[in-house]
Amino acid sequence: VQSPGRLQAILGEPTPFDGLDARQLRRRRSYKWSAYPPDVLPAFVAEMDLPLSPAVTATLSAAVAAGDAGYAREDLLPMAFAGFARRRWSWEVDPDCAVLMPDTMSGVARAIEILTVSGDGVVFTPPVYGPFARTIERLGRKPIEAPMGYAAGRWQLDLEAIDAALAAGARAVLLCNPHNPTGAIPTAAELQALVDLAAHHGAWIVSDEVHGPLALPGQQFTPLLKLGPSRAITIFSASKAWNVPGLKCALAIGGDAATSRALNALANELRHPSHLGVLAATAAFDGVAGGDGWLDQVTRHLAVQHERARALLGELMPLIRPARADAGYLLWLDCRALNLGDAPATAFLERGRVALSPGLEFGTQGAGFARLNLGTSGPLLLEAVSRMQAALATSG
Ligand SMILES: Cc1ncc(COP(=O)(O)O)c(C=O)c1O
């Protein structure tokens, strides 16, 4: 049995986000903090517990104070995003090619609709964000699996499987860059190989890059469109990195002018974001009032959280094998050695009162896995991992 002092020591130096108050968080009415009874610690859905950035808070507060809750204007956010892309990724985006969307997934859905027709195969890379397969299917396209590979401790795209699926007639690839739930960032070389093989087969790439701004310090995120493919649409949003998914706003960017025109031609009701979402995203991407500094602070904290999670799991549950994430606040846990069956998250919830995302939400490849959300404070991460261990202790 590990002493509490030893576990506290694993947390190490406090970060600026370690002082979160669970009682205050429980007053949030968003899904994460209201889906379960109060004795359950939520560590599932991709919302962070961190406060909003000062720039986003000031912008939203001013809007509310001014009764500024009307319809969005469309020109400022693409310019703010283009500035962010240049500063952060040395990527030149033409603001005229960026089309506002209500959220990331509606951008993904509209892209698939524009680029493919009913019955077309769309390749995706499970285990992956669950709505991908459901959206492909709901649109009348055929979801085709090219499961992620796992080699030398790293999850990666299986380019051969994608090549085979495209050779067999699939018309598009739905990429998750960075990848949820594994946290993997494809290298520029892997992305280039994907671009080349899509071009070879005359196929399209739809790239969901919502986790891109959350590349951990020292990790290089490459926006797909920086490589210059024309047959592509990329979707970005401030929703994950600035923790504003409830504000409903994203950007879809076409790889060439014709593709962007097709996005622009969508009916208004399919693509209008919320005004508050546009204001918040513009403040976030603008980098004013400490915007990029805030993002740096967040990613530094997340890097510490990943290190803490590895150390705590190694100490308390060494049979669990965590993925090595390059980005984000989600940790993909291989729990198969625990012998808890296909859904270890059920045991953690029922016996430990901590809610992780069940691995099966990400496809059949997730059997025996669970996803832990570490977008919280060190003490709350310690609490989550301790509850997981308590579940094992009572597993008989
Ligand atoms: C890869 C990925 N895409 C899309 C979303 C949803 O984003 P939005 O709420 O902006 O649609 C998520 C949320 O977790 C995600 O992880």
Residue 73 has pLDDT above 90, yes or no: yes
Are the C-beta atoms of 17 and 345 separated by less than 8 Å?
no
Q: For the full predicted model, state whether its pTM sits above 0.95.
A: yes
Asked if residues 334 and 368 have their Cβ atoms less than 8 Å apart, the reply is yes
Per-residue pLDDT band for 151 (boundaries 50, 70, 90) equals: confident
- Does the structure show a pLDDT above 90 at 3? no
**Phi/psi at 127 (5° precision):** -70, 130
Structure tokens at 379: 């003490």
At a CB cut-off of 8 Å and minimum separation 6, what does 124 contact? 132, 133, 136, 143, 144, 145, 146, 173, 174, 176
Q: Residue 177: CB within 6 Å of ligand 1? A: no
Ligand 1 in reach of 208 Cβ (< 6 A)? yes
User: Among the atoms of ligand 1, which is closest to the Cα of residue 249?
Assistant: 10
Q: How far is CA 162 from CA 6, 137, 149, in A?
A: 46, 18, 11
How remote is the CA of residue 77 from the centroid of ligand 1, in Å? 19
Determine if ligand 1 sits within 6 Å of the CB of residue 237. yes
Residue 1 confidence (pLDDT) above 80: no
Nearest atom, ligand 1, residue 239 CA: 10
Which residue type does 227 have? L
Query: Which are the contacts of 320, defined by CB distance < 8 A and separation ≥ 6?
Result: 313, 333, 334, 335, 337, 338
pLDDT, one tens digit per residue, over 261-310 is 999 999 888 999 999 999 999 999 998 655 579 999 999 999 999 999 99
Span from the CA of 54 to the centroid of ligand 1 (angstroms): 23
Taking only the tens place, the pLDDT of each residue in 6-55 is 889 999 999 999 999 999 999 999 999 999 999 999 999 999 999 999 99
Residue type, 160: E
Residue nearest to atom 13 of ligand 1 (CA): 46
pLDDT for the residue 288: 65
| Integer CA distances (angstroms), 303 to 54, 294, 296, 306, in order | 21, 14, 11, 5
Among 56-65, 149-158, 230-239, 369-378, the least confident range: 149-158
| Cα 103 to middle of ligand 1, angstroms | 8
Task: Count other C-beta atoms under 10 Å from residue 235's C-beta.
Answer: 24
Q: How far is the CA of 181 from the centre of ligand 1 (A)?
A: 11
Q: What is the pLDDT of residue 153?
A: 73
C-alpha torsion sign, points 128, 204, 281, 264: negative
Contact of 305 with 156, CB cutoff 8 Å:
no
**pLDDT digits over 180-225, tens only?**
999 999 999 999 999 999 999 999 999 999 999 999 999 999 999 9
Report the atom number in ligand 1 closest to the C-alpha of 107: 11
- The alpha carbon of 45 and the centre of ligand 1 are apart by a number of angstroms equal to 10
Q: Is the CB of 81 under 6 A from ligand 1?
A: no
Burial of 383 (0-12, 13-18, 19+ CB in 10 A): middle
Assess whether the C-beta atom of 47 lies below 6 angstroms from ligand 1: no
- Whether residue 60 is predicted with pLDDT greater than 70 in this model: the reply is yes
Residue 212, ligand 1, Cβ within 6 A: no
From 209, 240, 329, the mutation candidate for ligand 1 (largest count of ligand atoms within 8 A of CB) is: 240
The closest of 214, 287, 278, 242 to 50, measured between CA atoms, is 242
Ligand 1 pocket, 180 CB below 6 A? yes
| Residues linked to residue 355 through DSSP beta bridges, in sequence order | 42
For 126, phi then psi, to 5°, come to -70, 155
What is the SS3 assignment for the chain? CCCHHHHHHHHCCCCCCCCCCHHHHCCCCCHHHHCCCCCCEECCCCCCCCCCCHHHHHHHHHHHHCCCCCCCCCCHHHHHHHHHHHHHHCCCCCHHHEEEECCHHHHHHHHHHHHCCCCCEEEECCCCCCHHHHHHHHCCCEEEECCCEEECCEEECCHHHHHHHHHCCCCEEEEECCCCCCCCCCCHHHHHHHHHHHHHHCCEEEEECCCHHHECCCCCCCCHHHHCCCCEEEEECCCCCCCCHHHCCEEEEECCHHHHHHHHCCCHHHHCCCHHHHHHHHHHHHCHHHHHHHHHHHHHHHHHHHHHHHHHHHHHCCCCEECCCCECCEEEEECHHHCCCCCHHHHHHHHHCEECEEHHHHCHHHCCEEEEECCCCHHHHHHHHHHHHHHHHCCC
Q: Which of 100, 210, 248 to mutate to test the pocket of ligand 1 (most atoms within 8 A of CB)?
A: 210
Q: What gap in Å lies between CA 251 and CA 263, rounded to an integer?
A: 10
pLDDT, average across residues 67-73: 96
Q: How far is the CA of 280 from the centre of ligand 1 (A)?
A: 17
Instruction: State the distance from the centre of ligand 1 to the C-alpha of 104, rounded, in angstroms.
Output: 6
**Closest C-alpha to 144, from 117, 118, 167, 162:** 162
pLDDT digits (tens, 9 = 90+) for 326-349: 999 999 999 999 999 999 999 999
Determine the Cα–Cα distance for residues 111 and 332; give it in Å rounded to an integer: 28
pLDDT score recorded for residue 394: 77
Please work out whether the CB of residue 128 comes within 6 Å of at least one atom of ligand 1: no
